[in-house]
Amino acid sequence: MNILEIPFVANIRRNHALEHATIHVLTEHNPRRHLMGRTTAHGFYLFGEVEIEEVAAAVSEALDRLRSGEHCLAVHPRCGTNLATAGVLAGLASFVVTSGRSKPRLARLPQIILAATVAVMVAQPLGLALQQHVTTLPEVDGVIIEEITRQQRGRVVVHRIDLGQGSGPPCP
């Protein structure tokens, strides 16, 4: 069995896909909205100024749209996967440029900047591909919304979306 197929990992990937799809739906309705999500094994958290009724409607719509084949909703351009990919590639590129050379590091600064810049440019499509094939799983048949709660933590609004697995695909 491939690591991505282990039930615990697959569950996190499904939740991550639904988190992204929910953020897509909410920002379609209000493009100026600033949202952030964090996936867990039991669902996801949504940070941002949104009413609980709107979150509930968006999660339901996102689930329906993923089930109907809109798998592109599972990938989001501002996902942490993209940031991590850019950081790792830029760090590796800089390391490679600074390794094994006799020139002082400061003299290699233009090459380090160029290598890091190229790495960040490559990271954008690579990060999206990693989301599509590794960190998300848009096949959400059987996923059910168990509970949505809203908390105010200082000035930050946090919604917790608890998800579960139903007995099978939803009834038509």
- pLDDT the model gives residue 167: 58
- pLDDT the model gives residue 169: 46
Q: Where are the alpha helices (DSSP H) in 30-139?
A: 52-67, 80-98, 109-130
Paired tokens of 98: 């600074």
Q: What are the structural domains of the chain?
A: 3-75+136-165 (3.30.980.10), 80-134 (no CATH)
DSSP structural state of residue 77: T
- pLDDT the model gives residue 172: 39
- pLDDT the model gives residue 64: 98
> CA 17 to CA 81: how far, in whole Å?
12
- pLDDT the model gives residue 101: 67
> CA 63 to CA 60: how far, in whole Å?
5
- pLDDT the model gives residue 171: 41
Average pLDDT, 10 consecutive residues per value, the chain (172 residues):
92 97 96 95 96 97 98 96 96 89 80 94 96 97 96 95 75 40
Does residue 145 contact residue 60 with C-beta atoms inside 8 Å? yes
- pLDDT the model gives residue 99: 85
> CA 129 to CA 123: how far, in whole Å?
10
What pTM was estimated for this model as a whole?
A: 0.89
- pLDDT the model gives residue 165: 87
User: Which neighbouring-strand residues pair with 164?
Assistant: 144
